Amino acid sequence: MSVIGNNDSLNESQKLMYLKSALKNEAALIQSDQDNFDSLIKALENRYENKRALVDIHIAGILSINKLHNENPTQIRSLIDTVRNHMRSLKNLKLESNSLSDAIILHVLNNKIDKESQRLFQLSLTTTQVPSLQDFLSFLEVRCIQLESVIKSDFAEKSIPIKNKSSSGVNNSRWKSFLTKDKNKTSTAVESNPNQGQKACVICNEFKKHSVYNCEMFLNHSPLERYELCKKHNICTNCLNFHPSKSCTSKSRCQICSSFHNTKLHRDKTDVSIPSTAEAFIDTAPKVNSEQCFALHSTDKKNSKPMKYLMSTAVAYVNGMPVRIILDSASEINFISSDCAISLGLKRNRIHSSVSGINGLAQDIKYETNATISNKDNSFNESLKFMVVPKISSVTPSCNLDISKLSLPKHIKLADPSFHKPAKISMLLGAQVFFKIIKADQIKINDSITLQNSVFNYIVTGGLPTADDKLHCFLLSEQEGLENLISKFWQLESLEDESLNLNSQTKLCEDHFVNNHRRDQTGHYIVQMAFLKEPSCLGESKQTAIRRLNSLWRQLEANPNLQQLYRNFIHEYLDMGHMEQVFEASEPTVAYYMPHHGVLRPDSKSTPLRTVFDASCATTTGE
């Protein structure tokens, strides 16, 4: 873009046009504040000029170079180009190399090349000085030239074409006969192949190092067509190797239905079932004509493979413990499973509430709890209230999903690394916190999968093909059903037609209320204290109370601070009308003197003194 930006022959509109034509995918959707070249360049820099991420990508690119097992000049030259491209990019990011970084990268790359090249590189060093990275790359360039020369020389001098036919008598344009000389100087006719050492795939006929399981042409067929290909080429229908199915020793089974066939051959119940192992060995079924076969294949094509749409799962942390959560913007409240609440040691509070979902189905909620969720580095934390339920959902997803063809960026961290494996959900976070968690940027992987950034890292959303037909839906709101409220109202207001069967104690309380209650001017009911026994049964209690009081006085005299606090309490009790002074002349015949003492609590700022009235102190009669 610097070539266009520094070109004075182009006006601003032309520069902007060239820039927009060069942008693709997500970059083409970026908008700038002003519709000109400089403004759009600045917007692109703000989005993608992440130096730390770029450095990580280039370093990871060097470390992830595949190991070379053979003396292949093409692979060695590819290694050289890859390293130089990454080093040049790091230099453009203002990261200069030094002797230490050269030594580290050289050590990594030396372990990537083949054994013979490693040996020759060590032989090329004439001193004990640590070689530079440039010395190592220069050696590899010379090594490439040598290998290319050897290959050309061997092909030109040792391969002399002669007229010959293969032993089988079959002409094949891919094969040629050559007369070569072995070590014992005897002439031998051999079959030479341009792809010598490699076997062509029986499915795609290409000389590529891949198994039937990974063959693109094989995977592009429907499960029924794959099964027919296996039978045609004598491929085991269980492990997809080249041996009869009846002699297969593999213990693996279909990951979807656990039957004796490979997962790649699994079909839905709506399709024609795959023959079992016994049926494959004993062919007793009637032969099907070509028209019937055509109809069978046509039916299979019409049945498209269902998609399993991923729920927005992530791993959050509560009290330092990882918890698998699901994000649901359609839920008004947050949920936690009872097992999770117990394992985290959260205090549950009893409530009476109800939640409803699809079709108004309601569920009673008996407990709620409070918890603080956070991400791994604790840069995000939120205190939330959760409704406690026995189980939030069944395992999510409902089956293992195949992500072998899903090319996720290596530098991206996922919010739930095991998003494709069935596992239970411990928490559901609703709309209260949903949009605090979600961030703006997205990464589109393909037409069906998108990575959504969040405070928990990237959440995988979209759909993956599967044979499972289970669907999940979360749409919950907290409510108290109208019919339940009306029912409770009438229960409170209704009167029993039949008279209550009262026991003797309840009848005594009712009679006491009828005979001793009155109502003051404010409408409050005032009832005399009820006694289970007559007060006359009480004995003498005054002397015990006096002894306890004298003991209290001695304690107060020894502690002036306690004495002042106790004095304040007595005056406060008098002022509030909770007690009144009793004179000797007005002492009743039947009386109970209640001892009291103080408990000092220095740690309490509001009530450092707590006064205890000992109403259980027995009289002389034991009552």
State residue 57's pLDDT score: 86
Measured distance CA(622)–CA(606) in Å, rounded: 38
Between residues 270 and 315, which one has the greater pLDDT? 315
Q: Is the per-residue pLDDT at 108 higher than 60?
A: yes
CA dihedral sign, ordered 605, 609, 613, 617: positive
Between residues 5 and 167, which one has the greater pLDDT? 5
Q: Is the per-residue pLDDT at 31 higher than 60?
A: yes
Q: What integer is the mean pLDDT of 141-151?
A: 84
pLDDT tens-digit series, residues 555-566: 889 988 888 989
Fold of the CATH domain 307-465: Cathepsin D, subunit A; domain 1 (2.40.70)
User: Residue 458: pLDDT band by 50, 70, 90 thresholds?
Assistant: very high
Q: What integer is the mean pLDDT of 261-286?
A: 52
Q: What integer is the mean pLDDT of 172-192?
A: 39
> For residue 439, which of 553, 327, 322, 271 has the smallest C-alpha distance?
327
> For residue 227, which of 280, 268, 182 has the smallest C-alpha distance?
280
User: Residue 278: pLDDT band by 50, 70, 90 thresholds?
Assistant: very low
Q: Is the per-residue pLDDT at 525 higher than 60?
A: yes
- Asked which of 419-423, 426-430, 498-502, 513-517 is least confident by mean pLDDT, the reply is 498-502
Q: What integer is the mean pLDDT of 607-614?
A: 88
Count the neighbouring beta carbons within 10 Å of the beta carbon of residue 326: 21
Between residues 283 and 617, which one has the greater pLDDT? 617
Using a 10 angstrom Cβ sphere, with 0-12 exposed, 13-18 middle and 19 or more buried, the burial of residue 213 is middle
Between residues 13 and 272, which one has the greater pLDDT? 13
> For residue 609, which of 619, 617, 599 has the smallest C-alpha distance?
599
Among residues of the chain, what percentage have pLDDT more than 90?
16
Q: Is the per-residue pLDDT at 308 higher than 50?
A: yes
- Asked which of 11-15, 397-401, 437-441, 603-607 is least confident by mean pLDDT, the reply is 11-15
Using an 8 Å Cβ cutoff, are 452 and 312 in contact? yes
Q: Is the per-residue pLDDT at 462 higher than 80?
A: yes
User: Residue 416: pLDDT band by 50, 70, 90 thresholds?
Assistant: very high
Count the neighbouring beta carbons within 10 Å of the beta carbon of residue 62: 19
Q: Is the per-residue pLDDT at 518 higher than 80?
A: yes
Q: What integer is the mean pLDDT of 485-495?
A: 72
The mean pLDDT value of the chain amounts to: 77
User: Residue 488: pLDDT band by 50, 70, 90 thresholds?
Assistant: confident
User: Residue 222: pLDDT band by 50, 70, 90 thresholds?
Assistant: confident
State residue 482's pLDDT score: 63
State residue 447's pLDDT score: 83
> For residue 18, which of 8, 3, 30, 33 has the smallest C-alpha distance?
3
- Asked which of 17-31, 174-188, 593-607 is least confident by mean pLDDT, the reply is 174-188
Q: Which residues of 294-325 are buried (b: 16+ CB within 10 A; e: fewer)?
A: eeeeeebeeeeeeebebbbbbbbbbeeeebbb
Using an 8 Å Cβ cutoff, are 153 and 170 in contact? no
For the ranges 248-257, 274-283, 614-623, the maximum mean pLDDT occurs at: 614-623
Q: Which amino acid is located at 421 in the chain?
A: K
pLDDT tens-digit series, residues 234-248: 899 888 888 888 888
State residue 607's pLDDT score: 83
Using a 10 angstrom Cβ sphere, with 0-12 exposed, 13-18 middle and 19 or more buried, the burial of residue 390 is exposed
State residue 606's pLDDT score: 79
Using an 8 Å Cβ cutoff, are 3 and 13 in contact? no
Q: What integer is the mean pLDDT of 464-479?
A: 56
State residue 274's pLDDT score: 41
State residue 153's pLDDT score: 60
Q: Which amino acid is located at 377 in the chain?
A: D
CA dihedral sign, ordered 66, 70, 73, 74: negative
Q: Is the per-residue pLDDT at 144 higher than 60?
A: yes
Q: Is the per-residue pLDDT at 181 higher than 60?
A: no
Q: Is the per-residue pLDDT at 183 higher than 60?
A: no
User: Residue 126: pLDDT band by 50, 70, 90 thresholds?
Assistant: confident
- Asked which of 177-181, 384-388, 468-472 is least confident by mean pLDDT, the reply is 177-181
Q: Could you give the 3-state DSSP secondary structure of residue 348?
A: strand
For the ranges 15-29, 155-169, 555-569, the maximum mean pLDDT occurs at: 555-569
Q: What integer is the mean pLDDT of 267-281?
A: 44
Q: What integer is the mean pLDDT of 13-31?
A: 70
For the ranges 5-19, 397-411, 482-496, 561-575, the maximum mean pLDDT occurs at: 561-575
Between residues 185 and 9, which one has the greater pLDDT? 9
- Asked which of 9-18, 114-123, 325-334 is least confident by mean pLDDT, the reply is 9-18
Q: Is the per-residue pLDDT at 284 higher than 70?
A: no
State residue 288's pLDDT score: 38
Q: Is the per-residue pLDDT at 275 higher than 90?
A: no
State residue 576's pLDDT score: 87
Measured distance CA(450)–CA(312) in Å, rounded: 11
Domain boundaries, the chain: 1-49, 53-154, 212-265, 307-465, 536-613
- Asked which of 231-245, 251-265, 277-291, 463-477 is least confident by mean pLDDT, the reply is 277-291
Q: Is the per-residue pLDDT at 174 higher than 50?
A: no
Q: What integer is the mean pLDDT of 548-553?
A: 91
